[in-house]
Amino acid sequence: MRVHVLTLFPEMFGSPLAAGVLRRARELGTLEVWVHQLRDYAGGRHLQVDDTPYGGGQGMVMKPEPLVAAIEHVAAADAPRRILLSPQGIAFSHERARSLACERALLLICGRYEGLDERVKAHVDEELSIGDYVLSGGELAALVVLDAIARLLPGVLGNAASPADDSFATGLLEHPQYTRPEDFRGARVPDVLLSGEHAAIARWRRQQSLRLTLERRPDLLAHAPLDATDRAFLRKLGWRDGDGG
Ligand code: ADE
């Protein structure tokens, strides 16, 4: 997959792209990332990329010309899916990451300042938000989206690890994990995990996932694939079917 990023702060991408899963995906050749400086597309002597808002108000607004010139330049070469990161976007999710991981090329457009000229939005395919808070720009959001997608690309996590059990991949939060030592300052690994009984371990993990999801994210239960055993277990914990918690 090829990913283009459009930003006023290309330097924000250096370290994240040089470590961990993003580095591995790039080294494998599975992921190619091209970071473009938006200012290179600004005209005039001052290479201005922002201006005061029509109608008055605080802060600056990103001008449409450099953004659209940059989008068109990248799009002409690669026809990527164009994604604007913004707090007004649709909520980014694991499901969205999975479907974006099937694209051949993406363009992640990072806004700054108080926002960008509304007319830019006619030149993007979708607008994504990574959560209900306002960041000072789209760069960190673009990295979040990129990381979530990169780890789903074929071969990136290697054979041993699989994203299939991740929190959200199953529609539930992931069960707790333990490794050595068996006893850490008096806190013991649950006996069932030491038992070697695969069916009992699978049942325990499923129940832990259900319990945790009910406690922390009961809203997920409304859409999670639950069988009759899951439902019976949740009801014992006080969950009432159909009330979202
Ligand atoms: N830019 C600023 N805040 C953002 C958010 N929450 N998600 C995506 N892009 C953003």
Q: Tell me if 135 CB under 6 Å of ligand 1.
A: yes
For the stretch 106-154, pLDDT in tens is 999 999 878 999 999 999 999 999 999 999 999 999 999 999 999 999 9
**pLDDT value of position 166:** 79
Q: Which residues of 25-63 are buried (b: 16+ CB within 10 A; e: fewer)?
A: bbeeeebebebbebeebbeeeeeebbeeeeeeeeebbbb
Over residues 187-199, mean pLDDT: 98
Cα 191 to ligand 1 centroid, rounded to whole Å: 43
**pLDDT value of position 161:** 61
Cα dihedral: 47, 53, 56, 57 (round 10): -100
Q: How many CA atoms does the CB half-sphere of 179 hold within 13 Å?
A: 0
Active site residue 191: no
**pLDDT value of position 152:** 97
Active site residue 166: yes
Active site residue 151: yes
Q: Tell me if 7 CB under 6 Å of ligand 1.
A: no
Fold match between domain 2-150 and domain 167-236 = no
SS3 of 113, please?
coil
For the stretch 149-176, pLDDT in tens is 999 999 999 765 667 777 787 899 999 9
**pLDDT value of position 26:** 98
CATH architecture designation of domain 167-236: Orthogonal Bundle (1.10)
Q: How many CA atoms does the CB half-sphere of 37 hold within 13 Å?
A: 8
**pLDDT value of position 54:** 97
Residue 61 pLDDT > 80: yes
Over residues 6-30, mean pLDDT: 98
**pLDDT value of position 158:** 79
Residue 12 pLDDT class (50, 70, 90 cuts): very high
Given CATH 3.40.1280.10, say whether it is the number of domain 2-150: yes
Q: Tell me if 136 CB under 6 Å of ligand 1.
A: no
**pLDDT value of position 244:** 54
For the entire predicted model, the pTM comes to 0.94
Cα 138 to ligand 1 centroid, rounded to whole Å: 5
Residue 243 pLDDT > 70: no
Distance from C-alpha of 234 to C-alpha of 201, rounded to nearest angstrom: 18
Residue 226 pLDDT class (50, 70, 90 cuts): very high
Residues above pLDDT 70, as percent of the chain: 97
Of 10, 53, 64, 87, the catalytic one is 87
